[in-house]
Copies of this chain bind each other. A is one copy, B any other.
Amino acid sequence: VDPTGRKDRTLERFKAAAQEAGVKMTHQRLEIFRELATTEEHPDAETLYRAVVRRVPTVSRDTVYRTLAMLGGLGLVTPLGPQREGVRFEANQEPHHHYVCVECGLVRDFESEELSRLRVPTAVTRLGTIEDAHVEVRGLCARCQRGREKPRSPSKSRGTSERSTS
């Protein structure tokens, strides 16, 4: 399930992207990225840190956080779910789907007969029961497109994009 060494290739892609973006390639960054690109898990920063610290005993949590932000900026790593300042909730129990803005974290429900009819591959049942299946669409919401006049989080620049063209 990995004909050419996809992982090695991914590592090369990382090095190339880093060089192109003008960021330095350090031992830490390489190991952090390697760990994330290698694992089946979808670890949080702490878990990642614990894994990386085994190979690079001197890394600090800060570096993991900073590297993750940097990798996110390069588009090489994706944070799961909406970018939030906290866990978010909904009461809508009807079948529906989510639109999530990758910039400000806006979440909107939308309905779709077609999407709600989607068939989950039976192989998934090997992972566990299926309580719900819905589509998550990610993109840049209208407001954030509109010149970023009033982004939801004006201050904290969640290193998602900007960079380079300074």
A80 near B88 (CB under 8 angstroms)?
yes
* Chain A positions 101-159 with a Cβ under 8 Å from a chain B Cβ: 101-102, 107-110, 112, 114-115, 118-121, 123-124, 126-142, 144-145
In Å, the complex CA distance between A40 and B42 comes to 29
In Å, the complex CA distance between A135 and B83 comes to 18
Q: A86 at interface (Cβ–Cβ under 8 A)?
A: yes
A80 in complex: contacting residue of B82, B99, B121, B144, CB < 8 Å: B82
Number of A interface residues in the complex (CB < 8 A): 70
A127 near B141 (CB under 8 angstroms)?
yes
B91 near A108 (CB under 8 angstroms)?
no
A-B contact pairs, 18 of them (CB 8 A): A42-B88, A42-B107, A44-B86, A45-B87, A75-B93, A77-B90, A77-B91, A78-B93, A79-B89, A80-B82, A80-B90, A99-B124, A102-B131, A108-B127, A115-B120, A118-B118, A128-B141, A128-B144
